Amino acid sequence: MFYYVKGPVVHMAPYLAVVDCGGVGYACRTTNNTLARLRKGETATLYTHLNVREDAMELYGFASENELSCFQLLISVSGVGPKAALSILSSTSPEGLATSIITGDEKALTVAPGIGKKIAQRIILELKDKLAKGQLSTPGGESYGGTGVTVIPQNKASEAAAALAVLGYSQAEAAAALKNIDMETLALEEIIKQALKKMVK
């Protein structure tokens, strides 16, 4: 319904930013990472997701499309609601989340308040499964034995490409962004960060 809201930030509170759009204040539930990029009185653009329940309609807003994509990805996991997704994305960056999913690092997810080991394992399992089944684009992946199951080769380049797929980028976009990045010495998360910087230029 709303792709983004843009206007001066008129109020900020934990997990909340209110943006004035033409005299209407839109209350956007958000993450600590997005709040850290906002300043009261300054114009901001928040990319939004409208969550409709039987008893409420809530708007969620994020400073980047990558963070929005990660939020939508997280709430697609069974048992993960918007509150849990905000908690995770307040404790890690989009590239950090993508890295955790690809490498199976459940401990990185349990750092978030309210996220236990079982839900962290479910997030990793379900999202890796979506990647394997081609429900997410899979740059760097290879079809195994004609089964349609995608196997992600275990090297930094392919892991970084798969992480970019988690963030919603196509195979061609990932390949172009990863070109000329030092795969030997940089950590996986730093490789992803540099690729994302190249794509937003």
Rounded to two decimals, the pTM is 0.78
Number of other residues whose CB lies within 10 A of the CB of residue 36: 9
Q: Is 16:27 a contact under the CB 8 Å cutoff?
A: yes
Whole-number pLDDT of residue 14: 95
The torsion of the CA quartet 104, 69, 84, 57, rounded to 10 degrees, works out to: -160
Task: Give the C-alpha distances (Å, rounded to integers) separating 60 from 28, 35, 85.
Answer: 5, 12, 11
Question: For the chain (length 201 residues), average pLDDT per consecutive 10?
Answer: 92 97 96 96 97 90 93 93 96 90 91 94 88 51 36 70 84 87 88 84 55
Please give the domain boundaries of the chain with CATH numbers for all domains. 4-62 (2.40.50.140), 65-133 (1.10.150.20), 156-200 (no CATH)
**What pLDDT, on the 0 to 100 scale, is given for residue 197?**
83
What pLDDT sits at residue 116? 94
